[in-house]
Copies of this chain bind each other. A is one copy, B any other.
């Protein structure tokens, strides 16, 4: 434990080092960096953090992090017949970055996890059902894009069963050997499933 020459430094180091992946040494280096910049630098940084935390909203339809509660999906997504169900906002961004999907999203806010006390009621599942059940719904396909973990699989199963009552196709992400992945280093469960779920080879002709 270092002796800081100032309580102000010590307090800032303590607060900065509460952030994940930042130890006290890095926190001290960051504090010294702030002191070397003009005060405006720190004011802009602190202001942006407060502004983010105090003013962030979630879209009332898809529950994505947003600057507004009104859904902006319709402005930049084109296919209202498909809804992709994900755990949280970073997953939306990851899928958007592939440029392979232009349908809508629905953010669950997590997955069912009895160990962490998260049941279906804690997730945005009811609003997903309402979206599908709405008379104005144009949704024809729901893609379950959750983590390939036990919790993700449980959640997918739960949602799929709930959606059976509606006339929508339910799909999930393809599982298999990752693109660029070498067989030798692919884990055996993935490899085993990839053989069982083998696909027709497409020559593109």
Instruction: With both chains docked as a complex, state the minimum distance between the C-beta of A107 and any C-beta of chain B, in angstroms.
Output: 10
A93 at the interface (CB under 8 A from B): yes
B49 in contact with A34 (CB, 8 Å): yes
> Within A38-91, which residues are at the interface with B (CB < 8 Å)?
39, 41-56, 64-67, 89-90
The number of residues on chain A lying at the interface, defined by a beta carbon within 8 Å of a beta carbon of chain B, is 53
- Interface-lining segment among A15-23, A113-121, A159-167: A15-23
- The oligomer's copy count stands at 2
A12/B51 in contact, CB under 8 A: yes
Chain A interface main SS type: helix
The CA-CA distance from A55 to B18 in the complex, in Å, is 22
A52 touching B31, Cβ below 8 Å: yes
B46 lies within 8 A of A50 (CB):
yes
- List the B residue with the shortest CB-CB distance to A42: B53
Which B residues are in CB contact (< 8 Å) with A44? 15
Looking at A2-10, A132-140, A193-201, the stretch in contact with chain B turns out to be A2-10
Asked whether A66 and B35 contact (CB < 8 A) given A30-B20, A42-B50, A45-B49, the answer is no
